[in-house]
Amino acid sequence: MTIRTRKLVGTVALLCLVIVWSLVGMALAQAPWIAATKLGQFVFYVVAGLGWVLPAMPLIAWMSRPDS
């Protein structure tokens, strides 16, 4: 697979990841155990805001791999 094709596939995958991650985050943010305390909200939003980076890192590394 050429780097150009990998970047196209990776871009679509990243967009899907971010969309699904945000929708799941919005749904979970309505949970009573999160909305009950300010500390719970803070921890949830920090984890939800930064958590998508972990699955995105290997995808970006795969996208930028040189052609073989």
Judge whether 68 lies within some domain: no
**How many separate domains does the chain show?**
1
Judge whether 55 lies within some domain: yes
In which domain, by residue range, is 33 found? 3-63
pTM of the model: 0.81
Residues 6 or more apart whose Cβ sits within 8 Å of residue 48: 21, 25, 28, 29
Q: Give pLDDT, residue 26.
A: 92
pLDDT tens digits along 11-20: 999 999 999 9
Judge whether 9 lies within some domain: yes
pLDDT tens digits along 5-38: 999 999 999 999 999 999 999 999 888 888 788 9
Classify each residue of 41-59 as buried b or exposed e, where b means 16 or more C-beta atoms within 10 Å of its C-beta.
eeebeeebeeebeeebeeb
Judge whether 31 lies within some domain: yes
